[in-house]
Structures are given as structure tokens and as C-alpha cells.
Amino acid sequence: MTAEQETSSCEERVIMYREALNEALREEMERDSTVFLMGEGIAQRGGSYKVTVGLLDAFGPRRVIDTPISEASFTSCGVGAAATGMRPVVEILFIDFTSLAIDQIVNQAAKYRFMTGGRGRVPMVLRTQGGSGNGLAAQHSQSLEAWYYHVPGLKVVMPATAYDAKGLLKSAIRDDDPVIFIEHKLLYMSKGHVPAEGYTIPFGQADVKRTGKDVTLVAWSGMVPRALAAAESLAAEGIDVEVVDPRTLVPLDKETILASVRKTEHVVIVQEAVRRGGVASDICSIIQEEAFDYLNAPIRVLAGKNTPIPFNLNLERLCVPQEQDIIQAVKQVRYVQ
């Protein structure tokens, strides 16, 4: 096979989001013996979403550790291990359950470097998944990224594609600060192009998932596929939408967002989380402060309803933005008088 054929083969390789995460974990565990995994059901079962399948056989029970159902205790173990030189990847099945370990995450991991004058570090990745879908009801369907976005000392990563998932997870494991790595439950089975060779994606580097000239649509995680679908539908009606995916909320690549806003002069920001106190509102304030003179219409924030997520699938869909909601929001901004 020629070098050109090899490159083409890499570009054409399509795998699932969960497989991309598995590859990232495997590659980093092979590269660095201080990397190990902890979580509920991640060893023999391979995790509830099958992200850790095969890793127990490859690395053994000292590096792929099944924990008790006690988020506070094993997150504490992860923080301690990280502070003493290891690189743990701690998995909490639902982001809802990170509330049980909030002291360890917010008061210990996030503040350790600062409180040691920069001498200490907590290179821990907390993998978890958020968002609604599949009728998992109010205690298993929240979008809580704003909690961790608010806390100095934490980095917040939310990949929307298989390519981004692999590259960002590898970067997260190598990072010397605690990283909240949030995966969306509806993305695990999605597929995308992922090179076979290892690669990383730098934090703080947004990705323009679709270029356009009429409206900037900022979206992340599970809202990105819906934003792209909405953009394709709108293109058929003559509205050219640019879709910007921040990929990492902390650090936030505001320059890419602002550059898009200055080009299109119309903005819609869509998040699955409830609007009140959300990340979208903060991004809105950044645009308002730094690109106000370029706006030809008010910024539109489209977000989840201020309600717990219902169990009923029809009600669940009503509570978070759908493709048609995004289409309507873009039209409202584009055609404002």
C-alpha cells in the first residue's frame, strides 16, 4: 500500500463515538503506566455504554478497577492518586451522580494547585455523561455543565463527534489539571471519521463544523448534530448557517466565535441545559461585550425548559431543543425587522 493509499484509508475509517473513546483510553494506557481507570462496572462489563470493553483483559485489574457504588469514595481515591503522581480516569456513570462527589471535585481537585502555590497538581479526568434521551427521567437526564464551568480550576470538555472524542480525551489524560469530560448518552453509537494513528486536539480550539455567511449557530455536545441537520434544512431555503462547536467550554475559544459573529452579524446559541444560569447566557454576554457593533439582530438563546426532565418520551422531547426549534430560532434572528 502506498503512502497516499494509507492516508486515504485513515481518512475513510469510520468508527463509533464509544470506540473512539476506547481507543483513546487504550493508547494512553499503553503510552503512560500511570494512567488507570476507576468506575462502576467498567471492568468485566466494559461499562454501561461499552466504552471500556477489552481494557481489563489488556491491562489487568490493577489498572481497570471496578468500584463500589459510592461516588464520593472512589472520586476521593482518584483525587488522592492524582495528587501523588498518578493519572486516574474516573468514570461516574451519569453526571447527575457527580453531585455525590461535589466536595471532592470542587473543593479538593479544583483548588489543589492554587492552594499549594502551584506546586501541587491533580491530573485527573472525570468521565461522565449527561443530557436527555431514551426516557431515563429526571435523575439521569440532566445537563449540568454550567456547574463545573462556573468553578475556577476545572476544565470542561464536551465532544460532539467521534473524532473530537478521541483527540480531546487523549489531551485530557495528558493535562495536569482536573478535567470534567462530558459525553452525551445519545452520541455513543454515532459514527464518524477517525484516523487510525494517534492524535490529540488542543483545548481551547473551537471547530467550525459548517461554514456559512448568514447566521452563526453556536452549539456543543448533543446539540451539534441537531444544529447541523437544521443548517442543512435551512440551506434549502436560502439561509446559509455557520455552525461553531466550542468543543471545550473551559477554556473557551471566544475568538473563533467572535470571528464568526463579525462575519454573519446574526447569532443563535443553542444548549440542551436549562437556560437559567447556563453557559449559553455567558457566551451571549461575551458576544454582547466584544462584538455588539457587528450585530444586526438581538442574540437568540435557545435552551431547555426550566423543568426536570420527564420520563415520558414525548414530554422529554418538548423539554429540550429539537431540530425544528433550531430552524425557527434561526429564522427569527435572520428575518428580524
Residue with cell 471535585: 105
Task: Report, as residue numbers or ranges, the catalytic residues.
Answer: 71, 140
Q: What is the pLDDT of residue 2?
A: 40
Q: What is the pLDDT of residue 11?
A: 60
- Whether residues 224 and 325 fall in one domain: yes
Task: Write phi, then psi, for 121 (nearest 5 degrees).
Answer: -150, 155
Residue 172 lies in a domain: yes
Q: How far apart are CA 78 and CA 109, in angstroms?
A: 9
In 49-114, beta strands by DSSP E = 64-66, 87-92
- Whether residues 130 and 224 fall in one domain: no
Domain that holds residue 293: 207-334
Q: How far apart are CA 326 and CA 231, in angstroms?
A: 9
- Whether residues 37 and 122 fall in one domain: yes
Residue 19 lies in a domain: yes
In the chain, beta strands by DSSP E = 14-16, 35-39, 64-66, 87-92, 125-130, 155-157, 179-184, 191-193, 207-210, 215-219, 241-245, 248-250, 267-274, 300-304
Rounded (10°) angle between helices 223-235 and 323-334: 60
CATH number, domain with residue 25: 3.40.50.970
Give the model confidence (pLDDT) of 5-41 as tens digits: 444 444 679 999 999 999 999 999 999 999 999 999 9
Q: E strand or H helix at 152, and its extent?
A: none
Q: What is the pLDDT of residue 313?
A: 93
Closest listed residue to residue 272, CA positions, set 249, 288, 256, 291: 249
- Whether residues 188 and 215 fall in one domain: no
The C-alpha cell of 69 is what? 457504588
In 107-163, beta strands by DSSP E = 125-130, 155-157
Residue 265 lies in a domain: yes
Strand partners, 241: 215
- Whether residues 63 and 188 fall in one domain: yes
- Whether residues 69 and 136 fall in one domain: yes
pTM (predicted TM-score) = 0.95
Residue 321 lies in a domain: yes
At 138, the amino acid letter reads A
Residue 235 lies in a domain: yes
Give the model confidence (pLDDT) of 136-185 as tens digits: 999 999 999 999 999 999 999 999 999 999 999 999 999 999 999 999 99
Residue 113 lies in a domain: yes
- Yes or no: say if 160 and 206 are a contact pair by the CB < 8 Å rule: no
- Yes or no: say if 153 and 123 are a contact pair by the CB < 8 Å rule: no
Number of domains in the chain: 2
- Whether residues 213 and 323 fall in one domain: yes
Encode the chain (337 residues) as per-residue pLDDT tens digits.
344 444 444 467 999 999 999 999 999 999 999 999 999 999 999 999 999 999 999 999 999 999 999 999 999 999 999 999 999 999 999 999 999 999 999 999 999 999 999 999 999 999 999 999 989 999 999 999 999 999 999 999 999 999 999 999 999 999 999 999 999 999 999 999 999 999 999 999 999 999 999 999 999 999 999 999 999 999 999 999 999 999 999 999 999 999 999 999 999 999 999 999 999 999 999 999 999 999 999 999 999 999 999 999 999 999 999 999 999 999 999 986 5
Alpha-carbon distances of 227 from 74, 188, 277, rounded to whole Å: 37, 18, 22
